[in-house]
Amino acid sequence: MSEFVRAIAVVDLSPGQATELTLEGQPVALFNVGGAFHALLNRCPHRGGPLGQGFLDGAEVSCPWHNWTFNVTTGENVVSAEVKVARHEVKVEDGQVYVKVG
């Protein structure tokens, strides 16, 4: 059963930043895009690069290994929408960010 788990405090991830987390045993990349939080599987589909270590430009993150770029709001590759990274649902409550995993 999928459920939301606490990931991080809102104040701990500034806009334009990303972080890597392991939640319920799953690698998660969490992004703050202008105060809105988005979560993807922290594994680029190309060669498994850590997206949470990538360069975030607006709503796009570039994998630090080979520069494959994904929209963090959709998980889609910016060149080919057929290539996607799994997304996780996110909610913010009482100053905490929660990610749905499972």
48-69, pLDDT tens digit by residue?
Answer: 999 999 999 999 999 999 999 9
Q: Give the whole-angstrom CA distance, residue 77 versus residue 99.
A: 22
**Looking at the domain 3-101, which fold is it?**
Rieske Iron-sulfur Protein (2.102.10)
Is the confidence at residue 2, as pLDDT, over 80?
Answer: no
Q: Give the whole-angstrom CA distance, residue 20 versus residue 88.
A: 13
pTM score of the predicted model: 0.95
Question: 18 has which bridge partners?
Answer: 31
Average predicted confidence (pLDDT) for the chain = 96
Q: Which two tokens stand for residue 64?
A: 């630090």
